[in-house]
Amino acid sequence: DGGITQSPKYLFRKEGQNVTLSCEQNLNHDAMYWYRQDPGQGLRLIYYSQIVNDFQKGDIAEGYSVSREKKESFPLTVTSAQKNPTAFYLCASSTGGGTAGETQYFGPGTRLLVL
């Protein structure tokens, strides 16, 4: 099956702890994205990557970090600097054509809760 997988489905973070959310895709897409969704709010972009070994900050990057060492993987680390991490995190990918008209394919999401 082709698609995007995210793990875990639920993640609990203790105060001061860093946690990493996994995102893997087998769609051979160049571009990958991380979004945060809070109740009643739209998707807000955390980080995005257009190509391996390159990534850019989105609108709410503070307290988060990413890496893109492989085309198929784009893990997100929520650091202790993120003071309000409770949210639904969505990973997405696209072929990365910019103005060509790109569909984003989303994973099932990870819900992060603070203990």
Partner 1 sequence: SQKIEQNSEALNIQEGKTATLTCNYTNYSPAYLQWYRQDPGRGPVFLLLIRENEKEKRKERLKVTFDTTLKQSLFHITASQPADSATYLCALPTSGTYKYIFGTGTRLKVLA
Residues that bind partner 1 (CB under 8 A): 4, 31, 33, 35, 40-43, 45, 48, 50, 58, 88, 90, 92, 94, 96, 98-99, 101-109, 111
Structure tokens at 114: 């603070």
Q: How far is the CB of 48 from partner 1 (least distance, A)?
A: 6
Residue number, 80 or 109, with CB nearest to partner 1: 109
Residue number, 63 or 109, with CB nearest to partner 1: 109
What is the number of alpha carbons within 13 Å of residue 36 lying toward its C-beta? 21
35: enclosing H helix or E strand: strand 31-37
Query: What is the C-alpha to C-alpha distance for residues 50 and 75, in angstroms, rounded to an integer?
Result: 14
Residue number, 16 or 42, with CB nearest to partner 1: 42
Q: How far is the CB of 38 from partner 1 (least distance, A)?
A: 10
Phi/psi at 98 (nearest 5 deg)?
65, -110
